[in-house]
Amino acid sequence: MTEDKPKPTFDSDSLLSAIDQLLTQTPEGEGLTTEEISEQMQLNPTRVRFLLRKIKEAGRLGTSRRFIEQIDGSRRPVPTYFVLPEGD
């Protein structure tokens, strides 16, 4: 019988704090895509979108767009996200 390794668990508050810290380091107007956040935090993209919604509900999520080159060479705009300073 194989031993199941315990999976790390994080509560929403600690994840929100971590994503807040990551996005606060991003210059305003530049931001990161959901995929980039997912890779850097090693989280499922669905979980990242959930956390982004929580930051938006707090009124601190800024968005912009950046063109990303696709596998076929075409370029398309994708949303990027950054955290606004508290009080804005």
Task: Give pLDDT tens digits for 26-83.
Answer: 665 578 999 998 998 888 999 999 889 988 988 888 899 999 999 999 999 999 998 8
Cα separation values, 88 from 32, 49, 67, 83, Å? 20, 22, 27, 10
Q: What is the dihedral of CA 33, 39, 45, 51, to 10 degrees?
A: -80
In 3D space, the residue among 19, 34, 20, 47 whose CA is nearest the CA of residue 79 turns out to be 34
Q: What is the CATH number of domain 12-83?
A: 1.10.10.10
- In the chain, DSSP finds a helix count (H) and a strand count (E) of 3, 2
Instruction: Sketch the domain layout of the chain as residue ranges.
Output: 12-83
Instruction: Dump pLDDT digits (tens) for 8-37.
Output: 455 566 777 777 777 777 665 578 999 998
